[in-house]
């Protein structure tokens, strides 16, 4: 059954197209974590690339190991030599553990999966396998974006878990059967971009002009939700609750109020109609459903 995980990018950065609040204050982070634990949310997703997120967690997390923490290995750019990949991976993992105050990570992901497809990239994953053997992380895997990455990485590596984008508008990996392909291989699937950076929750009239082609799809989707007695938050979560392949849905919040709303909507979404799975309204509009391709 799909469970929630708490994304923490907003704890370290001003992030999200619908975010009008900026980076979350430290006291609010503490309140969010306390509420998350009370709601049974036991996993946090972070990364060195998320600004101060790891350090903020280190200042706020209890010492009892209440949360499992997933972090990531940062991009290995052209300026790094392949011979340095392994030491850089180890250094990054150790820094993540130190910053978050953990003795062990639940999972370590390659943040930019293409790094492991470049010349010498296998050294990145070899070092992650060694970190797993040493008990510094329980699972290792990749943060993915598309079907081609999945196929190329499965041909070269054995992975414990992945994180990938999936939401009502972006059902590409579901419809291409890559989700079921991963599940059949025993790969644990974590899903991000649940709300498409908040786009799914916005009134269609507030959508930026650069994303105007999505407006008709969102209007139709919102009308369908109204007819079914669901709000946009419940609809986005219900979609993921109905996917047996998905282990975790990573949701980010800026405030305690947002977390409470998500937790309540998550429970209500359990009874949503299954036809929401058929609402792939923008599967062909990749430049608009992939936030990496959004123009400022």
CATH code of the domain containing 63: 3.20.20.100
Domain count, the chain: 1
* pLDDT score at 244: 94
User: Which pLDDT does position 155 carry in this prediction?
Assistant: 97
The pLDDT of residue 76 is 86
Query: Where in the sequence is the domain holding 202, given as residue range(s)?
Result: 3-293
The pLDDT value given to residue 260: 98
pLDDT of residue 177: 95
Q: Is the pTM of this model over 0.85?
A: yes
- Per-residue HEC secondary structure of 73-102 comes to ECCCCCCCCHHHHHHHHHHHHHHHHHHHCC
What was the pLDDT predicted at 212?
Answer: 86
241: which residues sit within 8 A by CB, 6+ positions away?
A: 2, 266, 269, 270, 272
The pLDDT value recorded for residue 113 is: 96
pLDDT of residue 66: 86
> What pLDDT does residue 18 have?
46
- Please, what are the averages of pLDDT over each run of 10 residues along the chain (296 residues)? 93 63 87 96 97 95 83 84 89 97 97 94 96 99 96 98 94 93 98 92 88 86 89 94 96 95 94 69 65 68
């Amino acid at each position: 059954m799909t469970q929630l995980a708490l994304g923490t990018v907003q704890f370290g950065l001003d992030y999200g197209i619908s975010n009008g609040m900026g980076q979350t204050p430290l006291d609010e982070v503490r309140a969010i974590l306390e509420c998350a634990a009370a709601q049974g949310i036991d996993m946090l997703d972070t990364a060195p690339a998320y600004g101060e997120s790891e350090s903020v967690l280190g200042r706020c997390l209890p010492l009892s190991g209440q949360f499992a923490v997933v972090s990531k290995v940062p991009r290995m750019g052209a300026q790094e030599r392949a011979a340095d990949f392994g030491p850089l991976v180890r250094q990054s993992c150790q820094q993540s553990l130190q910053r978050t105050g953990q003795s062990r990570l639940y999972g370590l992901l390659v943040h930019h999966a293409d790094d492991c497809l470049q010349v010498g990239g296998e050294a990145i994953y070899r070092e992650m396998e060694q970190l797993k053997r040493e008990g510094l992380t329980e699972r290792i895997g990749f943060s993915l974006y598309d079907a081609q990455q999945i196929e190329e990485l499965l041909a070269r590596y054995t992975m414990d878990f992945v994180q990938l984008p999936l939401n009502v508008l972006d059902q590409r990996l579901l419809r291409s059967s890559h989700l079921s392909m991963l599940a059949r291989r025993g790969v644990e699937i974590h899903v991000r971009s649940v709300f498409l950076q908040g786009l799914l929750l916005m009134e269609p009239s507030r959508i930026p002009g650069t994303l105007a082609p999505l407006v008709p799809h969102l209007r139709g989707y919102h009308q369908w939700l109204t007819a079914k007695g669901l709000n946009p938050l419940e609809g986005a979560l219900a979609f993921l609750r109905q996917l047996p392949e998905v282990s975790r849905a990573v949701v980010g919040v800026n405030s305690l109020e947002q977390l409470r709303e998500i937790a309540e909507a998550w429970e209500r979404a359990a009874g949503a109609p299954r036809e929401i799975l058929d609402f792939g309204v923008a599967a062909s509009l990749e430049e608009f459903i992939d936030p990496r391709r959004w123009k400022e």
